[in-house]
Chains A and B, each alone.
Chain A
Amino acid sequence: GNSVTQMEGPVTLSEEAFLTINCTYTATGYPSLFWYVQYPGEGLQLLLKATKADDKGSNKGFEATYRKETTSFHLEKGSVQVSDSAVYFCALSDQTGGFKTIFGAGTRLFVKA
């Protein structure tokens, strides 16, 4: 079945540091890939997505590239801010899963001033 594996947290960085959160997936079809973010006290919201191989999703300085050959969708940001402190979830959905989205376990990011 489909699954998503992402690096365990928490990740603690200083402001302006480079961020990478690793995500790999297993899927039988051709999934769409997503990163969602959950700020403290809130529900999840979409951060970025990519729908086919080699697509790059980007938003708010975050980027992730859909790599079919390595089944990966790593999240990166060149310079993090304190306001980026949140939990980040990698996710996938495809037609074989119907309407469902499979989420990773989440990675908590702390950014220190």
Chain B
Amino acid sequence: DVKVTQSSRYLVKRTGEKVFLECVQDMDHENMFWYRQDPGLGLRLIYFSYDVKMKEKGDIPEGYSVSREKKERFSLILESASTNQTSMYLCASSSPEVNIQYFGAGTRLSVL
């Protein structure tokens, strides 16, 4: 069974903290994605990566960075967390041939 695992289901952080969200997939997929999900706004793409050490900005990259040192792992970094980054964060992976996205269960981040 395919699996995308996000390291935490719930996180509570303070304003100004550096936050790491980790995502691991076991499907040998080339492509990986980070989204944030907010009520009424659906899913918005933050960053994606189509290969190791490659990254591309999505629609809302400001305040975020990413790291992909290994094919199976894609990390989202909030350099200095702010309250407007309180959200649900979803990681996904896909293969370019099929382009079906497989999602993790999500990390609900609260920034106080």
A contact residues vs B (CB 8 Å cutoff): 32, 34, 36, 41-46, 49, 89, 93, 98-101, 103-106
Contacts and interface: CB of A to CB of B under 8 A. Distances in A.
B12 interface: no
B42 A101 contact: no
B86 to A, nearest CB: 18
Contacts of A105: 40-42
A102 to B, nearest CB: 9
B27 interface: no
A46 B96 contact: no
A55 B48 CA distance: 29
B8 to A, nearest CB: 14
17 contacts: A36-B101, A42-B106, A43-B92, A43-B104, A44-B92, A44-B101, A44-B103, A45-B102, A46-B100, A46-B101, A89-B42, A99-B96, A100-B45, A104-B42, A105-B41, A105-B42, A106-B43
Interface residues on B, range: 20 to 34
Contacts of A42: 105-106
Nearest to A32: B99
B58 A100 contact: yes
Given A32-B99, A101-B99, A43 B4 contact: yes
Given A100-B45, A100-B58, A103-B42, A44 B90 contact: yes
Interface in B71-102: 90, 92, 94, 96, 99-102
B64 interface: no
A43 B105 contact: yes
Given A43-B4, A43-B90, A103 B103 contact: no
Contacts of B103: 43-45
Contacts of A34: 100
